[in-house]
Amino acid sequence: MGKPIKSVTIVGGGTAGWLTAALLQAFGRAQSKDAKPLQINVIESPDIPTVGVGEATTPGIVRTLQNAGLSEKEFFKRCNASFKLGVSFDGWNVDAKGKPISYINPFVKAPNIRGIEIANYFAKFGAGDQDYVGSYAITNDLVRGLKGPRTLGSKEYDQSTGFAYHLDAGRFAGLLTEHCKARGVRHIAENVLEVKQDESGNISELILDKTGSHAVELVIDCTGFRGLIINQVLKEPFIDYSKYLANDRAMAVQIKHKDQTKIEPVTRSTALGAGWSWRVPLYNRIGTGYVYSSAHRTDDEARDEFLAHLGNPEGAEPRIIPMRIGRNRNAWVKNCVAIGLSGGFIEPLESTAIYMIDLAVRWLLTYFPEADYADPLRDRYNKLVDNLYNEVRDFICVHYRLGNRTDSQYWIDAREELELPDGLAENLELWRYNLPSYYDVPFNTIFDAQVYAAVLMGKQVYKTGYAKGNIGAGLNLDQKLWREAHKQIRQNNLARAQRAADHRTLLAELRG
């Protein structure tokens, strides 16, 4: 047995650093005999800025904030947060007549009818003028009506309708900093100049620019794309995903709301000529950007295209962000665990990165080491993190592989030139004959079969030549039963949407 670890040092004060600190502080085990909680230190450079983006989240964020002990109301006010009910994919595919499709990937679970997933009924019988999501979820109605997921006066964190948040990344890190410091996390605003290793290769000491030597036990590398410790010092190889995903650059800018009273409760992802543009509406402004492939656009070309897409807003000067897409071979090496952008990054199409930070910290706590850093703990942690990156990569690949645009070389290359990971290639062949089922992606943490079905149906692949078999051939589907069930679901959703509060009014109430 090793000695108990008494302190954790986090290098980096972006969302990854402070979220890691907040969750470690909330759950960190008392390992010493005197049962003192873990001492958590965050070393943050006062000179190196954070990446400054990362403003859309997944529903897991609700549990993150609750578990970290944050008040939802304070979060809304401090982070200019808004609700996100899903992602609207605009212009990623065209329908059978060549018209661009817009569909939402919602945060609402699809019900089943007598044990059969609703997607099977929809694929066979359709649902009148509703698209697949409209056939079961309230999301389209709420988004169309600019409504939030709740009524006025609801309880904090009420989750009767699934949602995530949009947040101001800089303010979020600020709120977490304050929250952590008030709970005993030590904040060291200094630059790490040098990283020293002991004879076994473990990180033993950090040399800081003002106070000099800082001895460490367990170190968390949250230094962003530079991977200061994991890559530069420990030399862990980076596994590049560019053969699967083409986008390697982004540009970001903040713009004003055209009408401050109309705040969409959805993240928009609009397909452009060489990638896609995100639009994240916060309470006070909109965060937007263009994720693109440098093989298909220079920065100048991308900037022109992006600004034209925005309607050339006055004074908008997008900031270029080069992206390192892929993951480290291992996230945990020796006594260092890389969390956040230092560990890896997959383009932000599904806004998963913040949730991946949350999961990484929970897994670290589950497999928390003693000072001997036992291999089985590290191996299991690394396996989970690898699987998670591959899961997210695969899901993102589907958006491109099943795109059917032919109007730009980028979309043709994204569909025809990029490689598919093996497991995904097998599933995509299978789904020509059958809808995604639980058994096809049984170990997925974020993207289950229902979410895959929502994307396939949203893209209308079964109406545009993808199917090779009769979908759901073996199921005895009763059309009358479906019609009645669908009618009931619609009525219920319309009534709930009617009662839901206007999004902006709800935000104003939450902000006090």
Is residue 14 marked as binding?
A: yes
Is residue 320 marked as binding?
A: no
Least separation in angstroms between CB 167 and ligand FAD: 9
Identity of the residue, 351 or 427, whose beta carbon is nearer to ligand FAD in the bound complex: 351
HSE (side-chain half, CA atoms, 13 Å) at 191: 7
Least separation in angstroms between CB 433 and ligand FAD: 34
Is residue 350 marked as binding?
A: yes
The stretch near ligand FAD (CB under 6 A) out of 46-54, 96-104, 238-246, 480-488 is: 46-54
Identity of the residue, 24 or 453, whose beta carbon is nearer to ligand FAD in the bound complex: 24
CA distance 39 to 185: 7
Which of residues 10, 12, 38, 229 is near ligand FAD by CB under 6 A? 12
DSSP string, 437-492: -GGGSTT-SS--HHHHHHHHHHTTGGGTT--SS-TTTT----HHHHHHHHHHHHHH
Which of residues 24, 44, 120, 241 is near ligand FAD by CB under 6 A? 44
What string of H, E and C letters represents the secondary structure of 122-185? HHHHCCCCCCHHHHHCCHHHHHHCCECCCCCCCCCCCCCCCCEEECCHHHHHHHHHHHHHHCCC
Least separation in angstroms between CB 37 and ligand FAD: 23
Residues β-bridged to residue 105: 87
Lookup: tokens for 32: 């010493």
Near ligand FAD in 298-327, by CB under 6 A: 321, 323
DSSP letter assigned to residue 224 = G
Which of residues 28, 86, 265, 348 is near ligand FAD by CB under 6 A? 348
Rg over alpha carbons for the chain, rounded to the nearest Å, is 23
The stretch near ligand FAD (CB under 6 A) out of 38-46, 154-162, 391-399, 464-472 is: 38-46
The stretch near ligand FAD (CB under 6 A) out of 25-33, 47-55, 292-300, 414-422 is: 47-55
Is residue 97 marked as binding?
A: no
Least separation in angstroms between CB 305 and ligand FAD: 16
Lookup: tokens for 394: 């695969």
Q: Where are the alpha helices (DSSP H) in 183-317?
A: 299-310
Is residue 110 marked as binding?
A: no
Angle 299-293-310 from CA coordinates, rounded to 5°: 60
Is 336 an interacting residue with respect to ligand FAD (CB under 6 A)?
A: no
Is 281 an interacting residue with respect to ligand FAD (CB under 6 A)?
A: no
Which one is catalytic: 3, 6, 84, 487? 84
Kindly provide the b/e burial profile for residues 234-257, where b requires at least 16 CB atoms within 10 angstroms of the residue's own CB. bebebeebeebbbbbbbbbbbbeb
Q: Where are the alpha helices (DSSP H) in 237-374?
A: 299-310, 353-366
Among candidate residues 403, 13, 436, 402, the one with its CA nearest the CA of residue 220: 13
Is residue 15 marked as binding?
A: yes
Residues in the chain: 512
Which of residues 351, 390, 404, 427 is near ligand FAD by CB under 6 A? 351
Residue 499, Cβ density class (10 Å: 0-12 exposed, 13-18 middle, ≥19 buried): exposed
Which of residues 5, 11, 246, 414 is near ligand FAD by CB under 6 A? 11
CA distance 118 to 116: 6
The stretch near ligand FAD (CB under 6 A) out of 217-225, 430-438, 473-481, 483-491 is: 217-225
Least separation in angstroms between CB 247 and ligand FAD: 9
Kindly provide the b/e burial profile for residues 474-491, where b requires at least 16 CB atoms within 10 angstroms of the residue's own CB. eeeeeeeebeebbeebbe
The stretch near ligand FAD (CB under 6 A) out of 12-20, 86-94, 432-440, 503-511 is: 12-20
Least separation in angstroms between CB 224 and ligand FAD: 3
Near ligand FAD in 132-151, by CB under 6 A: none
Identity of the residue, 41 or 135, whose beta carbon is nearer to ligand FAD in the bound complex: 41
| Active-site annotation holds for 73 | no
Identity of the residue, 30 or 189, whose beta carbon is nearer to ligand FAD in the bound complex: 189
Near ligand FAD in 56-95, by CB under 6 A: 56-57
Which of residues 5, 10, 17, 202 is near ligand FAD by CB under 6 A? 17
Which of residues 5, 8, 10, 15 is near ligand FAD by CB under 6 A? 15
Among candidate residues 415, 316, 396, the one with its CA nearest the CA of residue 353: 396
Is 192 an interacting residue with respect to ligand FAD (CB under 6 A)?
A: yes
CA distance 288 to 290: 7
Annotated binding site: 13-16, 84, 192, 341, 350, 354
Annotated binding site for FAD: 13-16, 192, 341, 350, 354
Which positions are annotated as active-site residues?
84
Binding site for ligand FAD (CB under 6 A): 11-17, 43-45, 48, 50-51, 53-57, 169, 191-192, 222-224, 226, 228, 250, 252, 289, 321, 323, 340-342, 348, 351, 353-354
